Structure 1
Amino acid sequence: MSRVSVVVIGGSAGSIPVVTELLQALPRHFQFSVIIVLHRLRNVISSLDTILGNKVQVITIREPNDKEEIREQYVYLAPQNYHLLIEADKTFSLDYSETVHHSRPSIDVTFESVAQVYASQAVAVLLSGANQDGADGLQAIINQGGMVIVQDPATAEYPAMPKAALERNREAVVLTPPEIAAFLRTLTQ
């Protein structure tokens, strides 16, 4: 596997406790970027970045601005009601186009964008959720030589999303949340 430059995590219903566990597993000085795409209600004020930040105080979690440069040792949370894309110059692009799988941000949109820019330097993690968002994006990352991990559906509060991803992506590594956390710790060694 190439040097990992980005870890992109997607989730929906039931994924916030796992995201928190994964962020808490990151060492203080990890040498890659982390991008999180979580489905959120569109018309409700969200302070998810603050909530996650309070649970993981040693890491700064921020919602990126359009055209912001992606930096190592940062955790980025896709802004509510925008698709989060990655440009070839490794900056963010926020997009307000139609929903994908009834979601904006869409996990597929971000994963596919990460695949194009980071290719084999990407690791994608798909967590609990109630639809099939993320399955196509995982395939894009596999096609570009990146690594994909899917939460074991037996451990997911809502197993539909991991199950859909595994049906589409036989190459995905299936891990429990503690195993995913342990894997992320190995990326910094």
Structure 2
Amino acid sequence: MTRQALTAETVLDAALTRFAARGYHGTALSEIAAALDVRTPSLYNHMRSKHDLLLTIVERTVHGVLDDFHAAVDGRTDPLERLHHAVLVYAHRHATHRREALVVNRDTSSLEEPHRTTMQDLRREHEHALRAIITDGVRQGRFDVGSPALASFAIREMCVSTARWFSDDGPLTAEQVAREYTEFALTIVGVGRYASS
């Protein structure tokens, strides 16, 4: 069996797998090196530090979530349509990027400043944008929910949980789970099923 070429991406991928399984603080660089069948000093040709690996994972993931969100909702004006598409991509991402989701949701607080605050602010940007859609829907009479903040929290937590239980070998595909969760989200805000065009 030929050993995989050692690159910045292979080091990052190995770190991602181990951070997801054991946590950032529970993973030693020597374990990442062992997974790649190299000595630990060899890693430094492709990374600056273990913290740098975590920062790269969190940055890519948080920006990916925001990019998904804007691609899904920008140009749409109807709150119901915006919420449908926002939840669809968020749930799907957590089913298809499970390692990243586990690391970001557990280990962002391990980042050093100012990176921790920057990443937390970007995560809140997504949180507030989703809440704003629900608030707008309530204002327009499209949604019937007493607390947009609580509804937003429930929807996000539901989607985030997918990373903990979803399996590619399970009875449902990532697309099916995302669509079901989207319907659950619409029930949370007090509307029926979404008839997509």
TM-score by structure 2 length?
0.27
Pick the structure with more helix per residue: 2
Give the TM-score, by structure 1 length.
Answer: 0.28
Name the structure with the higher strand share.
1
Larger Rg: 2
